[in-house]
């Protein structure tokens, strides 16, 4: 399932969609009036690979795009809309790999050359190379892909991948997310995704819109009648993903923790029949007794934050373990950062 990170590759393809040119040669250029993506008629899929040779087919269900009259293309992918066909896998990808509580979307941009597409009304089909920029997981990388552009009708243009497009998760700072996925699912994951797509554009682009709402299940997709095992898996994914931070040597929650707390709140409210344990952990710096008190205070701070988000406080149990349960040896700053954490679990 780690292979899912291939999703990143999928995002690279999106800029290709922007290639859609106007179906007729116009005096004011092939992009006159602008173009927009017909998301219902478009597909963005990717393959991931795990355990050496096991492939998994995945897709994003919510994408939007446009091309301005000047040929500036923009495509946006709602990462929470990743669909692997398995709900728990979706949750793990959202939390652990994409960290959508910090990076909710991927954005692809490109500047199209009208001269390269001016003969499409005559040729009806052609292949072109496209330079693009992909912004994903807080990083931006440039790429080049070959796409097939087909005039389906006077007001519809299809842009499709000519060959699978590989995308490296490590280039977008997602190596740690891959490691989390491998640990959680007990599999090995190839840190490269393979993307293919078929995108349809039609006239009428407007100014860039906000990221679209997901059309599929809710981000955490936890039904009110969710079984304890389902809730435990979701809470485990939230724990492994991290995203909850504090001021140094303090129980004061950092502002950047808000999005992760929102997601945990959604899980907790979807598992309304269950009690949830919030456990605080620290590294080994400082006195053991002080670390124990700090871990308890941090767990209590998280419980208060969830209560303000609508979670019944009576369902939340806090505990602090201090430095007694390290995830890894406290042998480096990076390891210590892993040991400073909040974990969530279902209380039996």
The model's pLDDT over 32-79, given as tens digits with 9 standing for 90+, comes to 788 999 999 999 999 999 999 999 999 999 999 998 888 898 989 999
Burial of 11 from C-beta contacts in 10 A (0-12 / 13-18 / 19+): buried
Asked whether the beta carbons of 85 and 119 are under 8 A apart, the reply is: no
In a domain, 208, yes or no: no
Q: Are both 237 and 342 inside the same structural domain?
A: yes
Strand ranges in the chain using DSSP code E only, listed in sequence order: 35-37, 43-50, 54-60, 63-67, 72-78, 82-83, 105-111, 125-136, 139-153, 156-161, 165-168, 192-203, 275-281, 316-320, 341-347
What's phi and psi for 123, nearest 5 deg?
-80, -30
Q: Are both 168 and 235 inside the same structural domain?
A: no
Mean pLDDT of the chain: 86
In a domain, 33, yes or no: yes
* pTM (two decimals): 0.79
Question: pLDDT band at 29, cuts 50/70/90?
Answer: low
In a domain, 216, yes or no: no
In a domain, 221, yes or no: no
Asked whether the beta carbons of 243 and 99 are under 8 A apart, the reply is: yes
Residue 334 belongs to a domain with what CATH number? 3.30.1330.60
Which 8-state DSSP code applies to residue 246? B
Q: Are both 112 and 64 inside the same structural domain?
A: yes
How many structural domains compose the chain?
A: 2
Which of these three, 168, 203, 238, is where a domain ends? 203
Q: Are both 177 and 102 inside the same structural domain?
A: yes
Q: Are both 233 and 192 inside the same structural domain?
A: no
pLDDT in tens, 138-181: 999 999 999 999 999 988 999 899 988 888 999 999 999 999 99
Q: Which two tokens stand for residue 174?
A: 């997602």
Q: Are both 161 and 256 inside the same structural domain?
A: no
Asked whether the beta carbons of 62 and 214 are under 8 A apart, the reply is: yes
Q: Are both 280 and 140 inside the same structural domain?
A: no
Q: In terms of residue numbers, what domain contains 33?
A: 2-203
How far is residue 3's CA from residue 116's CA, in Å, rounded to a whole number?
A: 36
pLDDT at 255: 94
In a domain, 144, yes or no: yes
In a domain, 110, yes or no: yes
Residue 161 belongs to a domain with what CATH number? 2.40.128.110
Hey, which residues does 222 pair with through a beta bridge?
Answer: none
pLDDT in tens, 286-306: 999 999 999 999 999 999 999
Q: Are both 26 and 69 inside the same structural domain?
A: yes
173 contact partners, CB below 8 Å, separation of at least 6: 137, 138, 139
pLDDT at 336: 95
Q: Are both 189 and 238 inside the same structural domain?
A: no
Q: Are both 251 and 199 inside the same structural domain?
A: no
Give the closest residue to 12 by CA, choosing from 164, 148, 167, 158: 167
pLDDT in tens, 229-252: 789 999 999 999 989 999 999 999
Distances (CA, A) of 338 to 26, 284, 293, 328: 58, 12, 19, 7
In a domain, 196, yes or no: yes
Give the closest residue to 235 by CA, choosing from 306, 328, 329: 306
Beta strands 43-50; 275-281: pairing state: unpaired
Residue 109: pLDDT over 50? yes
């Amino acid at each position: 399932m780690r292979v899912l990170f291939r999703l990143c590759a999928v995002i690279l393809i999106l800029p290709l969609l922007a290639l859609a040119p106007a179906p007729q040669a116009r005096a004011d250029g092939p992009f006159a009036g602008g173009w927009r993506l017909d998301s219902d008629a478009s597909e963005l899929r990717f393959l991931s690979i795990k355990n050496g040779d096991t492939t998994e087919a995945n897709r994003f269900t919510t994408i939007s795009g446009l091309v301005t009259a000047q040929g500036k293309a923009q495509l946006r992918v709602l990462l929470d809309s990743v669909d692997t066909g398995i709900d728990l896998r979706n949750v793990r990808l959202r939390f652990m790999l994409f960290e959508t509580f910090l990076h909710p979307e991927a954005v692809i941009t490109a500047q199209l050359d009208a001269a390269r597409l001016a003969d499409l009304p005559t040729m009806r089909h052609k292949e072109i190379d496209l330079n693009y920029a992909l912004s994903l997981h807080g990083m931006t990388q440039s790429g080049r892909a070959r796409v097939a552009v087909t005039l389906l009708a006077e007001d519809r243009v299809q842009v499709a991948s000519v060959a699978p497009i590989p995308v490296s998760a490590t280039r977008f700072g997602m190596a740690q997310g891959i490691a989390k996925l491998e640990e959680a699912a007990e599999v090995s994951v190839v840190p490269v995704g393979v993307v293919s797509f078929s995108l349809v554009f039609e006239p009428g682009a407007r100014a860039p819109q906000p990221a679209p709402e997901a059309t599929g299940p809710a981000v955490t997709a936890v039904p009110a009648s969710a079984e304890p095992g389902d809730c435990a898996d979701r809470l485990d994914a939230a724990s492994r993903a991290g995203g909850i931070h504090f001021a140094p040597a303090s129980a004061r929650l950092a502002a950047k923790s808000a999005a992760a707390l929102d997601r945990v709140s959604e899980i907790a409210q979807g598992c309304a029949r269950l009690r949830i344990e919030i456990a605080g952990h620290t590294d080994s710096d400082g006195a053991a007794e002080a670390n124990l008190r700090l871990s308890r205070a941090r767990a209590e701070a998280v419980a208060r934050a969830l209560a303000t988000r609508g979670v019944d406080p009576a369902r939340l149990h806090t505990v602090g373990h201090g430095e007694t349960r390290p995830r890894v040896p406290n042998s480096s700053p990076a390891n210590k950062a892993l040991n400073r954490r909040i974990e969530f679990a279902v209380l039996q």
